[in-house]
Amino acid sequence: MGLLDRIGAFDRYKVSPTQGTSGLLTGTGQPMSPFAQGAVRQLGGALGIDVRTPEEKILAATAGIDRTTPAGQLEAIETRLKFELDPDKRNALGQQAVQLRRQMANDARTAATEQRRISRIESVATALENMGEAQEAAYVRDGTYSPQEGASYLASQRRAKSIDENNIEQQRSLVSSLGYENQDMFSSLYGKDSKPMSQGTLSFLLGRAEKGKQKQTALDYLDSLKSTEQIETLRPLVENGFLDRKQVGSFLAAGIKSTKPEVGSVVGPDGSAKITSTINGVYSTLERGEWVPVSAENPVFPIIKGETTVPSIKPSTGKTLETILETEDLLSDVMKENWTELPPAAQFNFNVTVMRVAEERAKLNKTSVQQEMITAFKDVMSSKYMSAEEGLYDFAGSSFVVPDLSEFIERPSSPSAPAAQGTSTNKKVDFGG
């Protein structure tokens, strides 16, 4: 303490703890004039004495703190507590600090949980991609499969690849552990004439069974809703694998006035097959779960070159394709594996192409779609439109789009040269509402 402090020279300038920003008082307890306050501040500064009020000290100390975040708000409170003398205010500030610390802890836990969820999704998706399961990886990333469902599928595929393909008991054990023993596609493992499956067939059928679970999820969702004409028009599309749970939800959310979705009628400029419907009077295509009106920016073309209109693929045709994929010995393991490796968009385009070809051939040849489906599948799979390099097919990287179908459906006596893949010479159809 200095000499002037000891003799009380500045007692008259002491600040009352209960005063505000004008807390500098005279010796008689009266507020000092602004001129006098300024003089005292200058003198105090010259002698190294801080004569600011608590509020002034708080404002100065917290001036640079960002109060837009919980961390900044907590820092401001803790700084204020260093200078606040009022017991009630200190108590209130302490309670605010406790609440902010709890909020920050909860936010940190939530952020950590979300980061673990994202990491889990990416880990499962990457593992699926490394096994050649590009479609399932995409389903995990877009939320169609939960990380748990993706991991379950991954585990079943790994177990299938580790099993001795000549050991029927091991195969039965795996199928039963997954709850698939009563499904028709695995019937060859049971009964009098049972025999083991090849590793490729077992892996393929396990994948089909997992997709069946996702289909059932969408059907259960429809069953949970009040039956309407709109919902019943969706059911065949779900049953035949054209719409998943998310797409069903998107369709129902698009509007009450809608027509039955169509598949295999039109393609986009790049040859990609489209799911279409008239939503509230506007002809639209389903793009990444959203209905987008057909327009100059989103044009469509009839899937068959030269046709004005093409009907939707029948739900029964989709069921036929599903049956041949799930029935052993109708297609080779190599073809099934190559089909499985196609990315989701390419696989959808491939399926639409095969079904469209089978339907058109059935009309031309006066046969049934069932009779034409296997040949149609084999013809498209072995066609030049599948990606290949040095004789080795790169199906996982395929960008297969719907080709010119005249190569597959016209009579052999009048062949037609196909257009380049990904192009269309069709006249654009204006379906705008």
CB-hemisphere CA count at 13 Å for 140?
27
Give CA–CA dist 399/139, Å, rounded: 18
What is the Rg, in whole angstroms, of the alpha carbon atoms belonging to the chain?
36
pLDDT at 391: 38
Start-to-end CA span in the chain (Å): 89
- Judge contact between 140 and 131, C-beta under 8 A: no
Strand partners, 302: 266
Burial class (CB in 10 A: 0-12, 13-18, 19+), 311: exposed
pLDDT at 389: 43
- Judge contact between 17 and 85, C-beta under 8 A: yes
Give CA–CA dist 247/289, Å, rounded: 5
**Ranges of H-type helices in 197-343:** 199-223, 229-239, 245-253, 315-326, 333-341
Below-50 pLDDT ranges, the chain:
3-4, 6-10, 12-23, 26, 28, 388-396, 411-433
pLDDT at 255: 59
Helix 333-341 and helix 199-223, axial crossing angle in degrees, nearest 10: 50
Which among 307, 403, 323 is positioned nearest to 363, based on CA atoms? 307
Give CA–CA dist 242/244, Å, rounded: 7
- Judge contact between 406 and 383, C-beta under 8 A: no
- Judge contact between 180 and 186, C-beta under 8 A: yes
pLDDT at 268: 93
Report if pTM > 0.85: no
pLDDT at 300: 93
pLDDT at 297: 93
pLDDT at 378: 93
CA dihedral for 211, 244, 383, 396, sign (positive or negative): negative
Strand partners, 291: 286
Give CA–CA dist 122/141, Å, rounded: 7
Residue the block writes with tokens 């004039």 = 33
What are the φ/ψ torsions at residue 193 (nearest 5 degrees)?
-100, 30
Give CA–CA dist 388/47, Å, rounded: 88
Which among 287, 283, 277 is positioned nearest to 252, based on CA atoms? 277
Give CA–CA dist 233/224, Å, rounded: 15
pLDDT at 420: 37
